Amino acid sequence: MTSDGGDAVKVVPVRHVGRWIAGAVMIVVVAMLVHTLFSKVSTGQVSCRTVNGLRTCHPVTNWRFSWNIVFHYFTSSEILHGLLLTIELTILAMVMGIVLGITIAVMRLSPNRLLSSTAWSYTWFFRGTPVYVQLLFWFNISAIYQSLSIGIPFTHVAFLHINAVSLFNPFRAALIGLGLNEGAYMSEIARSGLIAVDEGQIEAASSLGMTRGQTLRLVVLPQAMRVIIPPTGNEVISMLKTTSLASAISVVEVLGAAQNIYAANYEVMPLLITASVWYLIITTVLSIGQFYLERHFARGAQRTPPPTPIARLRQDVKGILAKFRTPRPAMTREVTA
Amino acid sequence: MSVDVVPMVEARAVCKHYSGVEVLKGVDLTVNRGEVTCLIGPSGSGKSTLLRCINHLEKHDAGELLVDGQLVGYEARDGKLYERSDKQICVERSRIGMVFQRFNLFQHLTVLDNVTIGQVKVKNVSPDAAATRARELLARVGLDAKEKNYPSQLSGGQQQRVAIARALAMEPKLMLFDEPTSALDPELVGEVLDVMKDLARSGMTMIVVTHEMGFAREVADTVYFLDRGIIEESGDPRQVLTAPSSERLKSFLSKVL
Ligand SMILES: Nc1ncnc2c1ncn2[C@@H]1O[C@H](COP(=O)(O)OP(=O)(O)OP(=O)(O)O)[C@@H](O)[C@H]1O
Ligand SMILES: [Mg+2]
């Protein structure tokens, strides 16, 4: 970027005409978007008042996107309750999915053929059917199983009896449905992570006398995490949004809460926006968390870890300031020469 | 060395095949305690396989293989052979150190943690005692300043020295080296060989698969030439390496020297 003067040669930078045009178009598009988002429309009514005996009238306008209603419901207790349920469902279903997924992945890679084919069938089944159908299935399962019992198959010996209707309340049905389905996707992610760990690491662990379990826990999984974390972050974000399907089986999560409200006041669009803004906020928080998690598990894999966004911002600002501050010695010298 | 002391490793007609391909075809080998044995031979001759059998990483399928007077993988009791449990095999492995061509340091752990993990998790040494011992060993291989680094931040030679320290931390009775310098730049080979020579001088029993004939001549008590799954020639390095009797060893030496 800088040259130390002397016999500097004048550099004529390439003019990126295409980039300038694309940039200008983008600015116009964004401006239009912002304009329409915050535009006002006439309600067709007129408001009049009398000041000092003079009667003045002007048309009443409203936000096209009813931001006032969005704002009003944004922190209402129904929406916040729903939000809490959304977060709860996301976390619990993901935990279930991750635990199941890693278990299935380990089974899948087991030399035991029975274990590996069971794992394969699990993934085949749960990936092959829509999650929406699965949710409806668990919600309605008490129709075919009045009670669940654990015992010895083909005998009447039972150790545990549970009433299915009380077990599969809407929240649990949603949790089981989402968690089991997620387990199938997580198992593929976990499997690719486990396979990515070098065979030599396993040999080194065995030659130290570690058992299979220790090798998996202490050597393979921590290294697989580097591969597993990024797609898992995507899964969490995807799960956050998929929990909205639970509203179809009468779980009042954030979308369900919004639906309940607009069923009463018909403000459909503002409440859908309310829910969407909350989804966006949580997604943003999750993305930030994912960045730091990835950084943590990448240790040892790279010689120098990537900078945090804040560090990068500081670097960028410094770079731009430096550009403005330093005069271009090469250019001036060229002119005077 | 007296004759009635049990050798550290004794192989009698050891055979091993992978899906029909005969890799070891009756290997006989004896490694006495405190001695350095070098194993040389062309690529694919079965050197790694033999080391892996000795370390229970592979099961040989015929012949007798004894380490420290004990059958590898089996226990002989009242005229029967009992297969050893996974747990017992792990204990046996922990007493045999192994150093790999590609170092295989644990990438997610610091140098210090690489050297302590086996002690803490396998030998149940307390973390403090393990760290103390690890620092001693790292000092011995000349890397005490690097304990906080990750393996990816070290040169190949440094990584291999850490790998040796990691194996030594388990207090092994036998050390196996599988081409420990083959993946190194020529100028880094010396530092690793120096550590190994030092180890040999301290009386460690070692089996070294190597193409470093200088090292073999200087350090080895016995050299074995493995070719196509059998020991073609063995004996004192000065004899074997300078005046080979078999034609195959002659042609092998002419290629590597
Ligand atoms: N797991 C395996 N499955 C099938 N064949 C194998 C396996 N491991 C090794 N082999 C074969 O066994 C033969 C001996 O392999 P080995 O690794 O012991 O040779 P080596 O003497 O160590 O050679 P190098 O000097 O190249 O390391 C080779 O032909 C190899 O292809
Ligand atoms: Mg080999």
Amino acid in position B235: G
Please check whether residue A295 is in contact with residue A305, taking contact to mean a CB–CB distance below 8 angstroms: yes
At B5 the pLDDT is 83
Residues A71, A50: contact at Cβ < 8 Å? Answer: no
pLDDT at A7 over 70: no
- All residues at 6 or more sequence positions from A320 whose CB lies less than 8 Å from its CB, including other chains: none
B253: burial class by Cβ within 10 Å (0-12, 13-18, 19+)?
Answer: middle
Q: Is B229 left (phi over 0), alpha (psi -120 to 50) or beta?
A: left
Q: How confident is the model at residue A3 (pLDDT cuts 50, 70, 90)?
A: very low
Is the CB of residue B119 below 6 angstroms from any atom belonging to ligand 1? no
Predicted local distance difference test score (pLDDT) of residue A1: 46
Regarding the beta carbon of B23 and ligand 1, being less than 6 Å apart is answered yes
**Of A312 and A203, which is predicted with more confidence?**
A203
B130 touches chain A (CB under 8 A): no
Do B121 and A210 make contact, defined as CB atoms within 8 angstroms? yes
Residues of A with Cβ-Cβ distance to B154 under 8 angstroms = none
**What does the mean pLDDT of chain A come to?**
87
Ligand 2 centroid vs B178 CA: distance in angstroms?
6
ipTM of this complex:
0.92
Q: What number is the average pLDDT over the span A10-37?
A: 90
Residue A302: the pLDDT is: 67
Cα–ligand 1 centroid distance for B208 (angstroms): 17
Task: From B15, B17, B24, B48, give the residue whose CB has the most ligand 1 atoms within 8 Å, as the site to mutate.
Answer: B48
**pLDDT tens digits, residue range A70-103?**
999 999 999 999 999 999 999 999 999 999 999 9
- pLDDT of residue A65 exceeding 90, the answer is no
pLDDT computed for residue B253 by the predictor: 92
Cβ contacts (< 8 Å) between B108 and chain A: which residues?
Answer: 222-223, 226, 297, 299-301
pLDDT of residue A186: 96
CA-B101 nearest atom, ligand 1: 27
Task: Tell me how far the alpha carbon of residue B46 lies from the centroid of ligand 1, in angstroms.
Answer: 6
Q: What is the pLDDT of residue A6?
A: 55
Whether the per-residue pLDDT at A328 is higher than 60: the answer is no
Evaluate if residue A336 carries a pLDDT over 70.
Answer: no
Per-residue pLDDT of chain B (257 residues; tens, 9 = 90+): 445 689 999 999 999 999 889 999 999 999 999 999 999 999 999 999 999 999 989 989 889 999 999 888 888 888 888 888 889 999 999 999 999 999 999 999 999 999 999 999 999 999 999 999 999 999 999 998 999 999 999 999 999 999 999 999 999 999 999 999 999 999 999 999 999 999 999 999 999 999 999 999 999 999 999 999 999 999 999 999 999 999 999 999 998 87
